[in-house]
Amino acid sequence: MLFTMEQGDIERLGEAHPLWRIGSVWASAGSGPDSRRLTASREGIQVHAWTAEQLSACIAYEEERNGWPASQAGPAVRRS
């Protein structure tokens, strides 16, 4: 079930930001819980965040900073 929820986050990010390549990387520590870091890239720009909401905000910031039109094509990213 956890995998399904996380995959849903990635799918929603991809729908909301279709011009970006969205992915995730798992970070594990021997003494603590594993964590998922979300990543997005577009035209040589890479952004990283721990939550879908943070990644969406980073993408919006980079779009504004680079003068790219907003890529919000789909529904807003929501927390599952």
**pLDDT tens digits for 32-76?**
778 899 999 999 999 999 999 999 999 999 999 999 988 755 444
* Residue 16 belongs to a domain: yes
Domain count, the chain: 1
Taking the model in full, what pTM does it have? Answer: 0.76
For residue 74, is it left (φ>0), alpha (ψ between -120 and 50) or beta? Answer: beta
β 35-42/21-27 pair status: antiparallel
Question: Residue 72 falls within a domain, yes or no?
Answer: no
Domain extent for 8: 2-65
Which pLDDT does position 55 carry in this prediction? 97
Distance between terminal CA atoms of the chain? 12
